[in-house]
């Protein structure tokens, strides 16, 4: 086995990259980078019936977006390829034949109908459903006769009938399984493709994998893999079974709880560094208070010793909070570029057109504090590129005011603003705040009317800064239009 850490992320191309799978990839990546080891991608496509075109590219895209790089894989090569399982079939068949020759495995000709009947009978007797090992006990002559019938054959591993298999899991400690309760599982299917159990053992050995990080749902399969390693005379890697990710109601995370694909979160406007930080904290923590960690800090601090055994809860409110923290931490240029990149990939319906970068740099400081996602930005700024959002006459009239007061507020505002030479936020505030006292109304009432007049919105970015960006001509025009609307 290799002296330095070698870990692999081995997704199946059966759908969009799920947050649970990508969380495993993140842990692999952090472990490899922190130890100065190698991070390998391997595509496990032996289940050809479930393969979905385009998902390998989606997996690569999700990982690159999150900032994860890899040292070996189908797209970058390496010394232990090929890194796609369907290109390694002769290797699996050779190992299966070797185990059959050593009587550690056997060929099984049981039909699907017979297997279903065995399962049904066992369940009726309240026994755990498992293969009854019929073909394991056949004589050589009977086995040859069965093979001569020409039906489909699989290769099953002959699990030991006694003893225990024990794994010293790096997260869960020592876990033991009684061998007699483990099925004689299928290693090689009738189509010549291996099952996960055979393929991952052979590949991990060939690729010199030192540590296998995977979901806790694979823990019950570990005795199968340990016995396969033993039958082949190979040293197994170290295993770490990661806690499952659950929804807030502690059910399995699924579509009914919201997005489950990493790329969906990208489309919803989450920053990659925020999602990386958030997913890392699903089952791992530095301490009981630190929440925000950069990728460099995560690499430096990550260790399996701090991974929990208990399930992790996917809390979307926490992700929203964390994404907002990251957005507020960006310089204006960084947020402007992030928004332009986001709108390029996901054109916003709310905007008549995407603002030029120089205009966006003026807008960003006005909305940055209020953003939780990039997606929210488009709905806050369309009035900067077009007329104010449509509004009704009644929206101009604030609480505890009337038509006459509102009309006077607009007229006096127009008179105060028209002569101004400078049109910056400080000058605007100096001109308008005293006006409220002169009108005998609260500043909030005056500014509320002007906000609707210039943006069409009840809630908008800070008014004086917004008016500065809109410019004098636009603001005066909008106030005149509001006066005309008020007069009907």
Query: Given the structure tokens 């957005």, which residue do they identify?
Result: 327
**Which residue among the candidates 64, 208, 252, 255 is catalytic per the annotation?**
255
Of 447, 452, 448, which is closest to residue 388 (Cα–Cα)? 452
SS (HEC) of the chain: CCCCCEEEECCCCCCCCEHHHHHHHHHHHHHHHHHCCEEEECECCCCHHHCCCCHHHHHHHHHHHHCCCCCEECCCECCCCCCEHHHCHHHHHHHHHHHHHCCCEEEECCCHHHHHHHHHHHHHCCCCCCCCCCHHHCCHHHHHHHHHCCCCCEEEECCCCCCEEEEEECCCEEEEEEHHHCCCCEEECCCCCECHHHHHHHHHHHCCCCEEEEEHHHHHHHHHHHHHHHHHCCCCCEEEEECCEECCCCCECCHHHCCCEHHHHHHCCCCHHHHHHHHHCCCECCCCCCCCCCHHHHHHHCCHHHECCCCEECCHHHHHHHHHHHHHHCCHHHHHHHHHHHHHHCCCCCCCCCCCHHHHHHHHHHHHHHCCCHHHHHHHCHHHHCCCCCCCHHHHCCCCCCHHHHHHHHHHHHHHHCCCCCCCHHHHHHHHHHHHHHHCCCHHHHHHHHHHHHHCCCCCCCHHHHHHHHCHHHHHHHHHHHHHHHHC
Query: CA of 71: how far to CAs of 21, 39, 77, in Å?
Result: 19, 6, 8
- 332-345 helix and 357-367 helix, angle to the nearest 10 degrees: 110
CA distance linking residue 273 with residue 323, whole number of Å? 9
CA distance linking residue 41 with residue 26, whole number of Å? 12
| 126 given a catalytic annotation | no
Residues with catalytic roles: 255
């Amino acid at each position: 086995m290799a002296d330095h850490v070698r870990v692999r992320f081995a997704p199946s191309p059966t759908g969009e990259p799920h947050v649970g799978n990508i969380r495993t990839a993140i842990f692999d990546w952090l472990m490899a980078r922190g130890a100065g080891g190698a991070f390998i991608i391997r595509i496990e496509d032996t289940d050809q019936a479930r393969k979905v075109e385009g998902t390998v590219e989606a997996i690569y895209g999700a990982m690159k977006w999150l900032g994860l790089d890899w040292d070996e894989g189908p797209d970058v090569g390496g010394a232990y390829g090929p890194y796609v399982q369907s290109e390694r079939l002769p290797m699996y068949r050779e190992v299966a034949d070797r185990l059959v020759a050593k009587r550690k495995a056997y060929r099984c000709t049981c039909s699907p109908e017979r297997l279903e009947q065995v399962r049904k009978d066992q369940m009726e007797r309240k026994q755990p459903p498992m293969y009854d090992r019929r073909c394991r006990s056949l004589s050589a002559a009977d086995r040859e006769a069965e093979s001569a019938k020409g039906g489909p054959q699989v290769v099953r591993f002959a699990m030991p009938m006694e003893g225990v298999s024990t794994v010293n899991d790096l997260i869960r400690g020592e876990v033991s399984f009684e061998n007699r309760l483990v099925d004689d599982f299928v290693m090689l299917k009738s189509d010549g493709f291996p099952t996960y159990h055979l393929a991952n053992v052979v590949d991990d050995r060939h690729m010199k994998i030192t540590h296998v990080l995977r979901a806790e749902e694979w823990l019950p399969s570990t005795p199968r893999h340990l016995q396969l390693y033993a039958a082949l005379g190979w040293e197994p890697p170290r295993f770490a079974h990661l806690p499952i990710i659950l929804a807030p109601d502690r059910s399995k995370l699924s579509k009914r709880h919201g997005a489950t694909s990493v790329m969906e979160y990208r489309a919803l406007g989450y920053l990659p560094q925020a999602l990386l930080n958030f997913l890392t904290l699903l089952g791992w923590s530095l301490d009981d208070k630190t929440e925000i960690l950069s990728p460099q800090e995560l690499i430096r601090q990550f260790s399996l010793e701090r991974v929990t055994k208990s399930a992790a809860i996917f809390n979307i409110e926490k992700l929203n909070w964390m994404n907002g923290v990251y957005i507020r931490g960006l310089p204006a240029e960084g947020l402007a570029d992030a928004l332009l990149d986001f709108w390029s990939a996901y054109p916003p319906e709310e905007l008549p057109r995407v603002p030029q970068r120089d205009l966006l740099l003026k807008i960003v400081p006005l909305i940055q504090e209020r953003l939780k996602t990039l997606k929210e930005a488009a709905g806050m700024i369309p009035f900067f590129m077009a007329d104010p959002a449509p509004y009704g006459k009644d929206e101009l009239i604030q609480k505890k005011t009337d038509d006459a007061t509102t009309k006077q507020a607009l007229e006096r505002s127009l008179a105060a603003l028209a002569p101004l030479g400078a049109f910056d936020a400080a000058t605007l505030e100096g001109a308008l705040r005293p006006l409220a006292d002169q009108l005998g109304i609260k500043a909030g009432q005056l500014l509320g009317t002007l906000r609707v007049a210039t943006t069409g919105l009840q809630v908008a970015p800070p008014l004086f800064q917004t008016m500065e960006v809109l410019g004098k001509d636009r603001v005066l025009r909008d106030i005149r239009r509001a006066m005309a609307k008020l007069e009907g």
